[in-house]
Structure 1
């Protein structure tokens, strides 16, 4: 319990620092984008006086450091502010877009883990050069393919030519979304399946050399029992850390995939906010992304502490 509390406390400290840095950096970087929200809201035909008046109302006439400090104070109270262009809270925009993105990421991870872990375990069990070369070659090909290329190919083949799955968009209900989510999720899973398969393969090879595996075989235990009881838990440890480490990559990949398939998720909301110079929404969505990544890493650390026999022994001994 002490270790778990330490992990949570450490991650919460990281979260506070990350959020503070993001607010400060976003306040500076988004203002480097040409144009202003006042011009976007009022239109290019608006007078200079009207634009200046709206900038004053929105607080955009103040120095960047003052706006950054104000943003930090708002975030500290859980207030991400109001959208400059949509007239509603940033939280409502995030909560509308987040379920779509998280659904795609979750299904993609399930696919990547099932495929990658199965391929890695089988190849590691075979322990032959042919299987090793096959895993390395296929992983290199998948890593080299950008998500927008994979998504476009899948969209053309399954969505247009074969017409077996929707070519894009999002359903009106969760039941409809079962059909719409497959192509985006498969596309995103390609980002994760290659490193998962390669890591599982290497890890399985190392585990198979351990003495406790030979001892299990000497007791005439089935290979299935050995794989599930003795090999899989140890093989899963680096995979948990790998998935957490790639959380930000998966989130970025999801945004690209959403653009390819026209999903109303984080990607669409963020690109709209950037193009309209909606500073509070850009900052709020960036902060939400950082919180997502930190929470995933915190959960992964706790999972490793629970699954790892060494760490579990330390925890119970306290």
Structure 2
């Protein structure tokens, strides 16, 4: 890697530091913004005022906000995320147990989205007046207006209940059953993200097709896959990658709905349970995990766009 690219990557990483610091501050303030007193909930409804004060002191809630921020940041840096106030289970263990399910769901959903959106975008851009392109555009409009939970229920009804090919919900014990369990949720997530990605890709391809260098290449006889590979993809991919990162961030929170729909033991379902039972340490930790994932996704998208965009100077 050249010195210019290393400097570019270093600058982008440094720019993420204050964003992470702001996220940590929001996570610390979250326990003050959520309804209910964490100390009272942990101490129990029959605890005396002295017992509640002792719990509040043990949690550090009687310290200034900046002190709480620094303590929490040091704990996070050392890998200590605390324990669930409901079960006493270390939160790091919860992340190990449930994080894989959410990661597989997002990976499968984004893969489905890209595999469906790419041919749709090429069809609508290269054959915009064909019947297939018009039918594809109408189908995208229908899917775009369907809520994810409804898509999941329809897929479960058609592909699971009527055929018995796939499980309706839950997560299998062995890898094979686990993979089968992720098919319907991944299709649900992928279909929810696909319409915007396909439309954005088609629009980017149309703009590239109208560019002078593509017109020149076509006049010289270049067509088909060679034209797409050499001149269209690299110039049309940066906007699609940016939108894909935005979709991935949205799907991270949309996974809460999908996991609830299919009964998956992921981080989204854990977030819902923790919030409903005022499990503040778990809510804090999962908010930090989701926020950090969004920052990382956007950072990777930024670097990928810079690599794909031929106009990048790497200064």
The bucket for the TM-score relative to the shorter chain is 0.7 to 0.9
1:264 is matched with: 265
Q: Which one is further off, 162-171 or 69-78? A: 69-78
Partner of residue 12, structure 1: 13
Residues 112-137 of structure 1: CA distance to partner in whole angstroms, max 9, x if unpaired? Answer: 11111111101111132866654543
Contact 2:249 2:297 in 1 (8 A): no
Partner Cα distance (2:40, 2:298) in 1: 40
Corresponding residue number in structure 2 for 1:99 = 100
- Where do 1:1-318 residues align within 5 Å? 1-37=2-38, 40-41=41-42, 44=45, 50-62=51-63, 66-128=67-129, 133-311=134-312, 314-315=313-314
Contact persistence 1:135–1:198 (CA under 8 A): no
Q: Which moved further from structure 2: 283-292 or 48-57?
A: 48-57
Q: Provide Cα deviations, 1:155-203, integer angstroms capped at 9, x if missing partner.
A: 2332223322110111113222221111101111122211111011111
Q: Tell me how far 1:242 sits from its aligned partner.
A: 0.9
Distance in 2 of aligned mates of 1:307 and 1:23: 32
TM-score (norm. length: structure 2)? 0.86
Return closer, same or farther for 1:87/1:4 CA change in 2, 3 Å cut-off.
farther
Instruction: Give the paired residue count.
Output: 314
How far is 1:48 from its partner?
5.6
**1:246-281 alpha-carbon deviations (Å, 9 max, x no partner):** 232010111211111111111122122223323232
**RMSD value, Cα:** 2.7
Distance in 2 (alpha carbons) for counterparts of 1:104 and 1:184:
7
Distance in 2 between residues matched to 1:14 and 1:136, nearest whole Å: 39
Kindly tell me: are residues 10 and 229 of structure 1, through their superposed partners in 2, closer, same or farther at Cα, counting changes over 3 Å? same
Q: Structure 1 pair 99/211, CA: closer, same or farther in 2 (3 Å)?
A: same
The TM-score, its normalising length taken from structure 1, stands at 0.86
| 1:197-223 per-position Cα deviation (integer Å, ceiling 9, x unaligned) | 101111121222234334444444451
Measure, in 2, the Cα distance between the counterparts of 1:132 and 1:36: 56
Q: In 1, are the aligned partners of 2:117 and 2:194 still within 8 Å (CA)? A: yes
- SS of 1:246's equivalent? helix
Q: 2:31 touches 2:38 (CA, 8 Å); kept in 1?
A: no
Q: CA deviation at 1:6?
A: 4.1
The question of whether the paired residues in 2 share the 8 Å contact of 1:36 and 1:277 is answered with no
Q: How has the CA–CA distance of structure 1 residues 194 and 3 changed in structure 2, closer, same or farther, with 3 Å as cutoff?
A: farther
> Any stretches of 5+ residues in structure 2 without a counterpart?
none
Instruction: Name the SS of the counterpart of 2:80 in structure 1.
Output: coil
> Whole-Å Cα distance in 1 between the matches of residues 155 and 186 of structure 2?
11
When residues 12 and 90 of structure 1 are mapped into structure 2, their CA distance, relative to the original with a 3 A threshold, is farther
